Structure 1
Amino acid sequence: MGVLALLWGSSFLWIKLALGGLPPAWIAAVRCALGAAVVLGLCAWGRRRLPSTWRAWGHVAVAALFGCALPFLLFAVGEQTVDSGVAGVLNATTPLFALVIGVALGTDRRLSPVRLGGLLLGFAGVVLIFAPWHAAGLASWGALAILTAAASYAVGYAYIGRTLANRGTDPIALSAAQLTTATAMGALTLPFSDTGAIALDPVVLLAIGVLGVLGTGVAFAINLRLITDEGATQATTVGYLLPVVSVLLGALFLHEPLTTRVVAGMLVVLLGVGMTRVVPRRPAPAAPAPELAKA
């Protein structure tokens, strides 16, 4: 989860930089293609097999739509008008959407007051870090696009947990199938994009390269493993760690100030994530009563 938060924590920065020379549809399609190349290479290296039935590929297509193609496009569209602070807060609603979906579908049977409190506390910490009431763009179409992307992620998590995870296919192979399908979906949108807005330079190429190879390919391989091991709702709590990572990176490399409010928010986030990882212990089965000696 820590590695995944590190890879995804800088995604808003890379999307912003890539928007300097690529339209949103191209950012979504190219990052899917680069990510697919990474995980397909991992499959070839580890001799992992992709899903072999049409039924499984049907499930993969739904997961690719809600977990990759749609949210990638919506985030790029949203960040054209929304600053990174607001985007971080809206993205952090994914665990809350996932909790509602998981309870409704019955896929999350480990809900407890402590975990519910952790989810709410984690979101409160994210809001405290970014203080969106000080930022512009909260009530805009861009913010609505990012909120829809966060909900789409939650649907993707829940669908994968219900139909694909722990079904005999390796998580990296599932990632390869999902990103390959999302690449095909993204390619269908390119003819409707403004190709005249493409202006490649070293910064744009670096941004889309890092976003595709690390932030998509490597990250999705880890994410599918996390869903398989921890469950869909639990895996979404990584979303609360992303703003913490982005704040720390800003302080270390961009010399951005760490205010008391930001530090307090980070501590609240970490406490909330810790609470979500508390799983109630099942009571041990009672020992059978000793049989009476036969006369």
Structure 2
Amino acid sequence: MIGFMLAVFGTALFSLKSIFIKFLYAEGLNTDSVITLRMAISLPIYLGIFIWLQKRSDDRSYRSFLPMIAFLGFIGYFLSSWLDLKGLEMISAQLERLTLFTYPIMVAILGAIFFKTPLSRAVIWSLLMTYSGLMLVFVEELNFSGEDTVFGTLMVFLAALSFSFYVLFGKQVISKIGSQMFTSLAMSISSVFVLLYFGLFHDFSQLDVSSKAWFWLVMLAVFSTVVPSYMIAEAIHKIGPAQTGIIGSLGPVMTMGMAVWLLHEPFTSYHLAGLLLVVFGVGILTKAKP
């Protein structure tokens, strides 16, 4: 139950991410500046928690996992985040969140490929339904945004694929060193990757951030990055990546509601049909799982 609640609240906070980023784009920031400032704010928090965890325990077994943690941090919170934010420049928050939803499908498929995890009939049917819902919204968005929708959706799809590797293989490391230590290290390392990337290809002195943008950046970094990252990692530890991914499917419902309310994005009958398919797909999984 604790793992379930962590997954639900972590998903809810992550669902606000798209909304905060859209507000930041409206303030004149772009993908590179948002991801850099987001991780720059987050890094001291993650390092502080890492130091605190070190003082609480003499266990240094995490050192043998540092190469794997660095790889997972790179694909899970640098590459995946960059692709996601780039896609969000071109598509609505609703379509972005629904596309990210495909990562539980990828986790299940990758689990079957790498770990021989069986795919039950209920899982297959529910995932087919959620994909159908995604396609309905995608086709409708094409009518509003045109060709940019295709490229933007592809970017977010690749972000979901990258994150699915993080979820699947992160479980192995989390079980060895604990979710808090893993999250602190993975996010700290990914923050360093982001800062190095920006330093190599951009000029920090050219960043122009308004006071309102700083407010949204803090909200994004703390409440849609730091807090839910620990929640999701602990949920993966307690209930596994597959079930965490299934609960994560509620994220599109939350994001779509907030996008319509706060961003005034269009919500047509196609959006409603896609949303209902997602909800019904989640319902099948919930009923099938004791």
Q: For this structure pair, what is the TM-score category when the shorter chain's length is used for normalisation?
A: 0.7 to 0.9
Is the CA contact 1:48–1:170 (under 8 Å) kept in the aligned structure 2? no
Aligned pairs, number: 277
Q: Distance in 2 between matches of 1:253 and 1:268?
A: 23
Structure 1 counterpart of 2:127, one-letter code: L
Partner of 1:189: 197
Deviation string 1:85-109 (CA, Å, 9 cap, x unpaired) is 4323332221222222111011634
Measured at CA, do residues 96 and 39 of structure 1 come closer, stay the same or move farther in structure 2, by a change above 3 Å? same
Q: Distance in 1 between matches of 2:209 and 2:271?
A: 35
> Secondary structure of the residue that 2:175 maps to in structure 1?
coil
Is the CA contact 2:107–2:165 (under 8 Å) kept in the aligned structure 1? yes
Structure 1 counterpart of 2:242, one-letter code: T
Where does the alignment leave 5 or more consecutive residues of structure 1 unmatched?
A: 282-295
Measured at CA, do residues 80 and 4 of structure 1 come closer, stay the same or move farther in structure 2, by a change above 3 Å? same
Matched, 1:174 2:182: yes
Matched, 1:125 2:133: yes
Q: Distance in 2 between matches of 1:123 and 1:41?
A: 40
> Secondary structure of the residue that 1:82 maps to in structure 2?
coil
Deviation string 1:157-199 (CA, Å, 9 cap, x unpaired) is 11102x31322x2312211111111111111111212546522
1:112-151 map, 5 Å: 112-128=120-136, 131-136=140-145, 137-140=148-151, 142-151=152-161
> Secondary structure of the residue that 2:150 maps to in structure 1?
coil
Is the CA contact 1:165–1:171 (under 8 Å) kept in the aligned structure 2? yes
Partner of 2:3: none
Q: Distance in 2 between matches of 1:243 and 1:197?
A: 35
1:70-81 map, 5 Å: 70-81=79-90
> Secondary structure of the residue that 1:149 maps to in structure 2?
helix
Structure 1 counterpart of 2:17, one-letter code: S
Is the CA contact 2:50–2:185 (under 8 Å) kept in the aligned structure 1? no
1:199-238 map, 5 Å: 199-238=208-247
Deviation at 1:229, TM superposition (A): 1.9
Deviation string 1:62-88 (CA, Å, 9 cap, x unpaired) is 110111011112222222333334323
TM-score (norm 1): 0.80
Partner of 1:26: 33
Is the CA contact 2:97–2:255 (under 8 Å) kept in the aligned structure 1? no
Give me the identity figure in percent.
21
Match of residue 17, structure 1, among 23, 33, 37: 23
Higher-Rg structure is: 1
Match of residue 14, structure 2, among 8, 29, 37: 8
Q: Distance in 2 between matches of 1:26 and 1:48?
A: 35
Partner of 2:167: 157
User: RMSD between aligned alpha carbons?
Assistant: 2.9
Measured at CA, do residues 116 and 185 of structure 1 come closer, stay the same or move farther in structure 2, by a change above 3 Å? same
Is the CA contact 2:92–2:265 (under 8 Å) kept in the aligned structure 1? no
Is the CA contact 2:40–2:191 (under 8 Å) kept in the aligned structure 1? yes
Q: Distance in 2 between matches of 1:52 and 1:30?
A: 31
Measured at CA, do residues 173 and 75 of structure 1 come closer, stay the same or move farther in structure 2, by a change above 3 Å? same
Q: Distance in 1 between matches of 2:133 and 2:175?
A: 32
Higher alpha-carbon deviation: 55-64 or 190-199:
190-199
Structure 1 counterpart of 2:71, one-letter code: V
Q: Distance in 2 between matches of 1:277 and 1:48?
A: 38
Measured at CA, do residues 41 and 107 of structure 1 come closer, stay the same or move farther in structure 2, by a change above 3 Å? farther
Structure 2 counterpart of 1:243, one-letter code: P
Measured at CA, do residues 51 and 114 of structure 1 come closer, stay the same or move farther in structure 2, by a change above 3 Å? farther
Q: Distance in 1 between matches of 2:79 and 2:30?
A: 15
Measured at CA, do residues 51 and 232 of structure 1 come closer, stay the same or move farther in structure 2, by a change above 3 Å? farther
TM-score (norm 2): 0.82
Is the CA contact 1:31–1:209 (under 8 Å) kept in the aligned structure 2? yes
